[in-house]
Amino acid sequence: IHRIHPTHGIIGEEFGNHNADAEFVWVLDPIDGTKSFMTGKPLFGTLIGLCRDGVPLVGIIDQPVLEERWVGIVHHGTTLNGQVVQTGDVVHDLSDAMMYTTDPQMFREGYELERFTSIRDAVKSPVYGGDCYSYACVASGYADLVIEADLGVYDYAAIVPVIQGAGGYISNWEGGDLHLDKHDTECHGRVVAAANHQLWTSAIDLLSSDTDG
């Protein structure tokens, strides 16, 4: 990337950052789901995101064992191995939703765990494990929701265009846009992805509500 696009920036989980304030920035995670990779579960993936002025525009989720590659472009669509995919628009109530979470221990005691628990108790069923493949399952119309925390920008920059291109919604827990510059100030590593607008607004209501209220 550096040789072909010398003005572009790169943010990588494994290789550090380079020119991260550039107009175009590539966000790379060579192996998302390291524990899955180590233990033989083929749900890990390579994530490649391209952001413009901090906004994720193009994303790739590549799963080499299954030979599956999702490519999402905002306002343009999402494909799986070249075939257009779309998120589900049948499940609209949380009580009917299948919700992915990679690891229940990613939620810190207090604020995060309380809100995760409230949405876990509201959905039809939580499903654990999945890494980036969880979001791919939402993009392909199989899963309804993903709720996670403790993520880095390299964990979601590639995911955002895949979900949005497929017709889904993805944001921080307060419903705010996922933007490279807002990671520390607004996102705090907390991400929700939903198959459709109704599920997303219901999830945001629970995730952003005051626990004392």
Of 12-20, 35-43, 159-167, 184-192, the window that binds a copy of itself (rule: CB under 8 A) is: 35-43
Whether 155 has a binding-site annotation, put simply, is yes
43 to 62: interface string for a copy of itself, x by CB under 8 A: x-------------------
Of 18-26, 128-136, 156-164, 205-213, the window that binds a copy of itself (rule: CB under 8 A) is: 128-136
Rounded-to-integer distance, Cα 179 and Cα 198, Å: 23
Neighbour tally for 92: CB within 10 Å: 15
| 189 contributes a contact to a copy of itself by CB under 8 A | no
Whether 31 has a binding-site annotation, put simply, is yes
71 to 110: interface string for a copy of itself, x by CB under 8 A: ---------------------------x-x-xxxx-----
| 143 contributes a contact to a copy of itself by CB under 8 A | yes
Residue with tokens 């380079």: 18
Query: Given candidates 10, 28, 48, 137, which one binds a copy of itself under the rule CB under 8 A?
Result: 137
Residue ranges of the binding site for Mg(2+): 13, 29, 31-32, 155
